[in-house]
Amino acid sequence: MSRVLSGIQPSGSLHIGNYFGMMKPMIEMQNDHDLFCFIVNYHAMTSLHDGLELRKNTMAAAMDFLALGLDPEKCYFWVQSDVPEVVELSWILSCHTSLGLLERSHSYKDKVARGLIPNTGLYTYPVLMAADILLFNAEIIPVGKDQKQHIEITRDIAERFNNTYGDIFVIPEPLISDDIAVIPGIDGQKMSKSYGNTLEIFEDEKSLKKKVMKIVTDSTPVEDPKDPSQCSLFALYRLFAGASETEQMRERYLKGGTGYGQVKKELLEILIEYFRPYREKRALLENDPAEVYNILEKGAEKTRAAAAVTLDKVRKAVGISYRV
């Protein structure tokens, strides 16, 4: 059974892009993989400097995962800051990571180019990510194409460490699914919190309706045929509709006579219905935060036991454990 690891940042409300890009695939993997799934609140600190907001987002992300079907009995589920071993390993790895390796990080350069004020945490982000992965001997790391280089950096760090101290770390492999297309936001760009174009998973229906009705479309008249392959609205609809419904909608596009306003109404209906059972479970969790705390505490305890095995080997290898 392969060991799979992935995490999500609590930097804002989770949206449909997060769901199809990471959350749904991870939840499906819990049945036939050794799954490690966590909320990366240390990473979120590179851009989020509001303590109350980070605390709120962390709990919200935990509730979202549990409501959507993640079973803590079938996997390791924890909040990053509840497993402090990762910070110690990150420091040890940073002492074995060249500046040149970090300076080649495309993600850092891109964020700075977009106007994000750089800090040391943003610069050393790949080292903490490497610690997240290597601490648990993860073999498979599902990532988007934009994160592929970070896995390559992790591999470089692990190989350099192993060359120095012996076979301590498992060398991970990225898993990049070509089946997951870019999910468009309401403006047609990639759905992203940074673009302000998201449809949130547990957004209230009134707000969701307002956003769906704002989804950008072209000016093709109602009676004319339309190209479904070029329509963000259709791309979103097919995520939730079954194969038969999707094909029927495709035929309606090509035939003409169906306006975008009608498609938006149908998208809203199917969105609300798809997430209805998850909304109900989410409401129960929100009314019982003590249960969520309990789940996360148990998850951290189980995860720390796994982390201790690797960290003990590392401490002995580098000489931090100096008693013989």
Catalytic residues: 111, 190, 193
Which conformational region is residue 180 in: left (phi greater than 0), alpha (psi within -120 to 50 degrees), or beta?
A: beta
Q: How many residues does the chain have?
A: 324
The DSSP output letter for 113 is H
Q: Rounded to the nearest 10 degrees, how much is the dihedral formed by the CA atoms of 81, 83, 89, 91?
A: 30
User: Residue 256 region, left (φ>0) first, then alpha (ψ -120 to 50), else beta?
Assistant: left
Give dist(CA 169, CA 317) in Å, integer.
Answer: 11
Angstrom distance (rounded) from CA 54 to CA 11: 7
Structure tokens at 71: 């079973």
Q: CA torsion 218→222→224→225, rounded to 10°?
A: 70
List helix spans (H) across the chain. Answer: 16-18, 24-29, 41-44, 51-68, 85-94, 99-103, 106-113, 120-123, 125-134, 148-165, 205-212, 232-240, 243-255, 260-286, 289-318
Residues 6+ apart with CB under 8 A from 235: 181, 183, 184
